[in-house]
Amino acid sequence: MSLLRKIRDTGRVAEPAPPRPRAAPPPAARDLGGSAQVRCVDAGSCNGCEIEIAAAFGPVYDAERYGARMVASPRHADVALVTGPVTRNMAEPLRRTVAAMPEPRVVVAVGDCAVNCGEFAGGYGVEGAVGDVVPVDVEVRGCPPRPEEIVAALRTVTGR
């Protein structure tokens, strides 16, 4: 019984939500209505950004409380989180994935490699940055970016 008493006496413990993002949402995000379905696309990364995205959607940072939810299909997605430099083999699949997303759609480049190819710039198998292959609406810099920055970018998209 002492555990239940302790839970009752302690009450609910949670950190306050960070302040709302000040950046204006991209034009395509204004029609999303405060929630976004997110599809992650690895275009050739080292998986550092994927670990941080998993942390952003985990119980500590909980991006879902701000209206961002992961989906498995690009046909259900409003937002594409793209990581890594786009390799030659992933350029066409990335174009097709973004084309399969319904309008309005938002593309978020996550990590330095997605923004400017990072350490992989000039590699023989690299097509270019994400912005060279598909139009990018939001950029998240860092190698890898912290989960707070990924959540902040998603909050900019959802407006929450």
Q: What is the pLDDT of residues 54-100, one digit of tens each?
A: 999 998 888 999 999 999 999 999 999 999 999 999 999 999 999 99
* DSSP states of 124-159: TTEEE-HHHHS--SEEE-SSSPPHHHHHHHHHHHHT
Average pLDDT by stretches of 10, the chain with 160 residues: 79 67 78 88 93 92 91 94 94 95 94 91 92 94 92 90
Q: How many CB atoms lie within 10 A of CB 16?
A: 5
Whole-structure pTM value:
0.85
To the nearest whole number, what is the mean pLDDT of the chain?
89
Q: How many helices (H) and strands (E) does the chain have?
A: 6, 7
Q: How far apart, in whole angstroms, are the C-alpha atoms of residue 57 and residue 64?
A: 7
Measured in Å, how far apart are the chain's first and last C-alpha atoms? Answer: 40
